[in-house]
Amino acid sequence: MEILLYILGAFVAYLILLRFISHERKLKKRFNKPKTKYSDLTDSDDVHISGRTKLIASLNTPILGSKCCYFKTTVFEVNRYGEDDIIKKDSDWSELKSEVGSSNFILEVNLQPVLILTASSEALVKTNIDTHSEQLLNTSEFENYWLNIKAMLERHGVRVCNVYDKFGKRVKESFVGNDEPLSVVGKGSWRPVTDFPEIQNIIESEQIYVVRGSEKKPLVFTNSNSLLWG
């Protein structure tokens, strides 16, 4: 019976992985279309633009404490040790808890502002920190991270018993900060600046180009060409 449950669990995990790969491939394909210059922006169901980020109301990442307009932080715990108690494979870890946050931001396209609405969005963002490193584990820098990791886990009701728990935990944190190069694909349209009180004091023009997503077709952004084409 235990073997049957193990096989069933492995099969379900395989199906979830296939679905994730298929979904990610669809997101990447949306970047295949040519980029649009600011001067050529018109109402479009799927516009592709690139520029540099400018934060409006910034968030702070849970572990690094970096200011950003998007972050994803995931804590993993070890589920299997290899030979000599060495953790070598990503499959030796399972996800424990995750936090994702985003806020609207400005993307400067050809030095002109475009408002990006992140309510219905997905991100393909490079990893800024991965704590699974022997060089990092034994440093004072990691001790500072560990305090934030504990705080995050406690927010989710996960109790950390003692300091040795840190050797069985791994954190990956990705984020998009200020003045970062970014590519965005989404539905674009020209809108009155007065529709968006949060930018009225920073945008001088009466109209602004706005890019957004929907549940059926989310806005997608990336800060890494290697994630798209690597």
In degrees, rounded to 5, the angle at the alpha carbon of residue 69 between the alpha carbons of residues 29 and 180 is: 70
Mean pLDDT of 190-217: 95
What's the whole-model pTM score? 0.82
* pLDDT greater than 80 at residue 80: no
**Mean pLDDT (the chain, rounded):** 83
The number of beta carbons lying within 10 Å of the beta carbon of residue 10 is: 10
User: Half-sphere exposure (CA, 13 Å, Cβ side) for 83?
Assistant: 0
CA dihedral 75, 80, 85, 86 (to 10 degrees): -60
* pLDDT greater than 90 at residue 230: no
Mean pLDDT of 63-85: 82
User: DSSP per residue over 164-223, as a string?
Assistant: GGGGGEEEEEEEE-TT-EEEEEEEEEEEEGGG-GGGTTT--SSEEEEEE--SSS-EEEES
State residue 60's pLDDT score: 96
